[in-house]
Amino acid sequence: MPRKRKSIEEHKKNGTYRPSRHDLPVISKEVINPVPFIPLTKWGNEFFLGLCGDLREDDKLAPEDLYTVSIMAQLATVIKDTYEILNKEGYFSPGSSGQVTQNPAWQIYKGALQEFNKMADKMGMGPVNRLRMAINQKSIKKEDKQPSINLD
């Protein structure tokens, strides 16, 4: 049987009160109306606002995260633009002496994609993080004594 949670007053009386755990989070203006820290294209701005909206709905967006989300939006724009270039021009092109060379946009695309994936992992959007959250949420339920994973 789960034990009863102590009230904030009990924690304050016992000296175990921690504002980071016991106070409800305050939603700031930056989270309600997010503004990117860097100039973005129209598509990048829409990506930024969409990602901020999704994170805000899940209560996972803090004002400190807006800089990271801004960089992610800029990287997503670079990925989208270089992907369009690669589809139009191809992944390989003839060099100056006729040899086949890799399109320079491929290196830019690959680097931006790697950086985007690193940022997504920092924000907890990677597959490992989602799996960890699923395990934690299953173990919180009263019925479950051991966490189980359903990958369906």
Answer with the residue of higher pLDDT: 132 or 52: 52
> What are the beta bridge partners of residue 92?
102
pLDDT at 120 over 80: yes
User: How many beta carbons lie within 10 A of that of residue 83, not counting itself?
Assistant: 14
User: What is the pTM assigned to this prediction?
Assistant: 0.64
Structure tokens, 108: 């830019």
Output the CA–CA distances (angstroms, integers) from residue 92 to 57, 98, 104, 133, in the order listed: 42, 12, 9, 41
Per-residue pLDDT averaged across 88-107, rounded? 86
Tokens 């909206």 -> residue: 53
pLDDT value at residue 34: 84
pLDDT value at residue 82: 95
pLDDT value at residue 68: 87
> What are the beta bridge partners of residue 40?
none
What does the DSSP 8-state code read for residue 58? T
pLDDT value at residue 86: 93
Are 71 and 125 in contact by the 8 Å Cβ rule? The answer is no
Output the CA–CA distances (angstroms, integers) from residue 146 to 53, 137, 138, in the order listed: 33, 11, 8
> What are the beta bridge partners of residue 94?
100
